[in-house]
Amino acid sequence: MGAGNDSGDRSVAIVGVACRLPGGVDGPDGLWRALVEGRDLVTAPPADRFDPDRFTDPDRPRPGRGRTAAGGYLADLAGFDAAHFGISPKEAAQVDPQHRLLLELAAEALDDAGIARDRLAGSDAAVFVGISDASYGVLQMMDVRAINAYTMTGAASSIAANRVSHFLDLRGPSMAVDTACSSSLVALDQACRALLDGTSRTALCGGVNALISPHHYVGFAQASMLSPRGRCAAFSADADGFARAEGGVVVVLKRLADALADGDRVHAVVLASGTNSDGRTAGLSLPDAEAQERLLREVHRRAGVHPDDLAYFEAHGTGTPVGDPVECAAIGRALGRGRTTGPLPIGSVKTNLGHLEPASGLAGVLKALLVLRHRRIPASLHADPPNPGIDFAGLGLVVAAEPRSIPAGGRVVVGVNSFGFGGANAHVVLASPPPPPAPAGPPGDAPRPVLV
C-alpha cells in the first residue's frame, strides 16, 4: 500500500526542489511570497493560447461549450533552450512543452540539491513523472503533413520521464505515472519505494501539466467539475468546482540516512507515503470517504504519527460540492476526532494556483515543505462562508482561512492528500528536517588557545 517507516529508519529526504507555477512563480521563494500575500493567481488565458470565446459561454451551460477558460497560466510556456539539452530546433518544435519543462526543472532541482550532473551520470538514479495531458501531440498530428520523425517521441507521455533519464544518463527506473489528479503524488510514492527497496540511491520525481487545448475545459464543464467563476473555493459554501492550472514541480529524493551521510541540505522528510483505490463506488468519478480514511490511518500508522502531532493538513481541496465533504469526512474520522490539542487546520494550495491536475500533488507537497520551513500556515483563500454540509467542529477540523503561526521548538509534521477522479488516492506525511549535527569539538583534555 505504501512506502516508508514503521521506523527503522525508513524515511526519505527531499534534498532538491524546483518549480514553475502560475503568476510568474519560478521557485519555492516565489511561491511562498504568493501564499503569504494571499494571491489568487488564476487569470484569463494568454492571448497566444486559444480564443476562449469560441469555446465558452459564461451565461449558461451549452453543448460544446465550457463556462470559463480562466486558469492558472505560466508566463512563458514556449520558451526553451533546446541547444542546452542537446535537442535540435526541428525536434524541439515537436517536443511537448510539458517534456521541455520537466527537463528544465530536473536540471534546476539537481542544482538546488548541489548534485553535479556528472556525479549522477551512469548511476542507478530513478525518474518518476506524473503526467496526463496529451493535447500537444494530438494538435501536432491534426496536420498529417507536419508529422515527422520526432512526432511520436515528442508526444508520448512515457518519454517525459525517459527524456530526463536520457539527458542525465540515469540507468534506474524511468516511468510516467497517470492516475489523473493524483499522478505526481503516486509518482512520489513510487520513487520512495524505489529508494527504500534499494533499487536506486537517488530519485527525481516530477509532476507537470499544460493548458494547451480548450477541449478539456469543455469536457470538464460538461461533467460539472469546473467552477463557472474560475476559482477554487475549497471548503466554502460557494464551492462550485475547480479552476484549472498549469506548471511543474520536480524534487530530488534520497534515503534520509544517505542524505545525512552525504552532507546534503534536507528540505523536508517523507516519513511515510501510500496509495489505494476507491474500488466500486456509486459512480466512477465519485470519491469514497471510507477508502480515503483507510489510507490515512495506514500511512499515519506507519509514520508513527499521532493526530496531535500534525500541525497542518494540506488537503486535495478542489472546491467541488461532492469532493470537499467526502474528503473532510475522511480526514476528520481518521485524524481530526482523535486530537486533544484542538481542531486540525486544513487548507488547499489550489485556492491560490488553481488545480494543476497531474502535478497538483507535488504542488501540495511544495506548500507543505514551505509550511515546515517557515513554521507558518498561509491562509486558504475563498473559504468563507464555510460549507454548511461539512461538520467542521464535529470532525475536529478548522479551515485555515487566516494565517497561523506554528509554535517554535520541536518537529513539525504535515499531511498531504491527492486524489484522482477515477479513485486513485495518495497520501504522504512530511516532517521538518532533523537539526544539523553539532560540529565536533576538541577532546575535553586537549590544549585550547586562549586570547590574552
State the Cα–Cα distance between residues 191 and 185, nearest whole angstrom: 10
Q: Which helix (H) or strand (E) holds 260?
A: helix 256-261
State the Cα–Cα distance between residues 40 and 146, nearest whole angstrom: 39
Indicate the length of the chain as a whole number: 452
Residue 12 phi, psi dihedral angles, 5° rounding: -120, 135
Q: Look at the alpha carbons of 45, 49, 51, 55 in this order and tell me if their dihedral is positive or negative.
A: negative
Angle between helix 289-303 and helix 323-334 axes, rounded to 10 deg: 40
Contact 161/129 with Cβ under 8 angstroms? yes
State the Cα–Cα distance between residues 54 and 244, nearest whole angstrom: 18
Rama region for 282: left / alpha / beta (φ>0; ψ in -120 to 50; rest): alpha
State the Cα–Cα distance between residues 316 and 339, nearest whole angstrom: 21
Amino acid at residue number 267: H
- Structural domain contains residue 111: yes
The residue written with cell numbers 486533544 in the block is 340
- Structural domain contains residue 387: yes
pLDDT at 8: 58
- Structural domain contains residue 239: yes
pLDDT at 59: 82
pLDDT at 7: 55
Structurally, how many domains does the chain consist of?
1
- Structural domain contains residue 227: yes
Rama region for 380: left / alpha / beta (φ>0; ψ in -120 to 50; rest): beta
Amino acid at residue number 149: A
State the Cα–Cα distance between residues 216 and 281, nearest whole angstrom: 24
State the Cα–Cα distance between residues 416 and 327, nearest whole angstrom: 12
The residue written with cell numbers 583534555 in the block is 445
Domain CATH code at residue 36: 3.40.47.10
State the Cα–Cα distance between residues 206 and 132, nearest whole angstrom: 12
Residue 104 phi, psi dihedral angles, 5° rounding: -65, -45
- Structural domain contains residue 441: no
Low-confidence residues in the chain, pLDDT < 50: none
pLDDT at 62: 87
Give the closest residue to 185 by CA, choosing from 267, 318, 275.
275
Give the closest residue to 109 by CA, choosing from 16, 226, 29.
16
Rama region for 437: left / alpha / beta (φ>0; ψ in -120 to 50; rest): beta
- Structural domain contains residue 436: no
Full-model pTM: 0.94
**Cell reading at 402:** 487566516
Contact 434/266 with Cβ under 8 angstroms? yes
CA dihedral angle for residue 204, residue 210, residue 216, residue 220, rounded to 10 degrees: 60
Beta-strand ranges (E) seen in 194-343 are: 202-209, 244-245, 247-255, 268-277, 310-314
- Structural domain contains residue 138: yes
Q: Which domain holds residue 381?
A: 2-431
pLDDT in tens, 99-126: 999 999 999 999 999 999 999 999 999 9
- Structural domain contains residue 444: no
What residues form DSSP beta bridges with 255?
Answer: 12
**Cell reading at 388:** 454548511
Residue by residue, what is the 3-state secondary structure of 73-138? CCCCCCCCCHHHHCCCHHHHCCCCHHHHHHHHHHHHHHHHHCCCHHHHCCCCCEEEEECCCCHHHH
